[in-house]
Amino acid sequence: MPQVFNRFEKKYVIKKEIAQRIRQELEDGFMQSDPFNKGGKTYPIASIYYATDAEIVDRTKAALEKHDYNHHLRLRSYGQIEDTQPAFLEIKKKVAGMTNKRRVTICYRDAVRQMSGQHVLDNQVISEVEAIQKNGDLKPYMLVAYDRFAYKGIEDPNFRISFDQNIRYRQHDLDLTKPTTGRLLLDEDYELMEIKSRTGMPMKMISILNRFGVTPQSFSKFSKGAIDMNSDNKISKELGLHYA
C-alpha cells in the first residue's frame, strides 16, 4: 500500500550549537524524540536520485533562481542495506510551499530492477514512475546521505522537526548496499533543520524560532549537490546563502 504525505515544509540552515539548544527546548517541552533515534543518537538516511540530463539543467537553474517548485524521484534507505532488505521508492513534489510525497516499500533488489526498466510490481506509485521513465532517459544521478535527529509533536504527531548533520553526496557508486561516504554539502559546524506540518506552526515553536533569531531559506540537497558538481566554488557562495 503506497504511503502519501501532504504537508508544509520550512528549512533552516543553523549553527550546530544553536541546533543543540533548540533540541534541548523541544525535548523539555512539547516534542518527543523519534523512535529511530535510539539512545539519543542520530539515524542514517541515504537516497539515490534519478533524473534526465534536461532535468538536471532545469533544477539547477530553478535552485539558483529560487523557484517555489521542485520535484524528485528517488530510492531511499535508512543507511547502508543489503539487496534483499526493504527500500522506499518515492516521488516528491513541492508547489507553493506544499510538499506531496508518495512512496512504496519495495525490496532494494527489485527496486533497482524496476528503475532499470523492468516491471516488477503493480502499484500506483510504480505506474507513475513508469510514466516518468517514458518521458526521457532517466538514470541514477546522485547519492545523498546524512544523519538525522527527528522529533514529533506530543499533542500533534503530524507536526515534525528534523535536524540533518553530515550532509554529503557523490556521483559514483550509486548503490545503497555500499558505505554512504561522500563530499560534504554543508560545513560541519552547521545543520539543516526542517519543520513539517499539515496545518500550521505551534506558537511555542514560533517563540523558539524568534528567540534564536533563525529564519527559513531555500535548501534542496539534490540541487546543491548538482550545483557543487559543476562548480569549483562553495555552495554558499554560489547561492548567496546567509546562515543563522
- Evaluate whether 238 touches 64 at the Cβ level (below 8 Å): yes
Please check the confidence at residue 132 and state whether its pLDDT lies above 70: yes
Q: What is the pLDDT of residues 165-205, one digit of tens each?
A: 999 999 999 999 999 999 999 999 999 999 999 888 999 99
Q: How far apart are CA 111 and CA 8, in angstroms?
A: 28
- What is the H or E stretch that residue 24 is in? helix 16-28
Range in 63-77, 146-160, 189-203, 219-233 with the lowest mean pLDDT: 63-77
At residue 36, the 3 state secondary structure works out as coil
Q: At what angle do helices 108-115 and 124-134 cross, to 10 degrees?
A: 30
pLDDT of residue 53: 76
Q: How far apart are CA 138 and CA 52, in angstroms?
A: 5
pLDDT of residue 177: 97
Which residues have CB under 8 Å from 27's CB, separation 6+?
33, 151
Look up residue 91 and give its DSSP letter: E
More confident site: 224 or 75 = 75
Q: What is the pLDDT of residues 93-117, one digit of tens each?
A: 887 778 899 999 999 999 999 999 9
Please check the confidence at residue 58 and state whether its pLDDT lies above 70: no
Q: How far apart are CA 60 and CA 67, in angstroms?
A: 10
Please check the confidence at residue 239 and state whether its pLDDT lies above 50: no
CATH label, 3-239, candidates 1.20.1300.10, 3.20.20.70, 3.40.50.720, 3.20.100.30: 3.20.100.30
- What is the H or E stretch that residue 228 is in? helix 221-229
More confident site: 231 or 19 = 19
Sequential DSSP letters for 119-156: -----HHHHHHHHHHHTS--EEEEEEEEEEEEEEESS-
- Evaluate whether 197 touches 158 at the Cβ level (below 8 Å): yes
Q: How buried is 89 (Cβ within 10 angstroms: 0-12 exposed, 13-18 middle, 19+ buried)?
A: buried
pLDDT of residue 47: 97
Q: How far apart are CA 33 and CA 225, in angstroms?
A: 29
pLDDT interval class at 233 (50, 70, 90): very low
Sequential DSSP letters for 183-226: EESS-TTEEEEEEEESS---HHHHHHHHHHT-------HHHHHH
More confident site: 240 or 7 = 7
Please check the confidence at residue 62 and state whether its pLDDT lies above 90: no
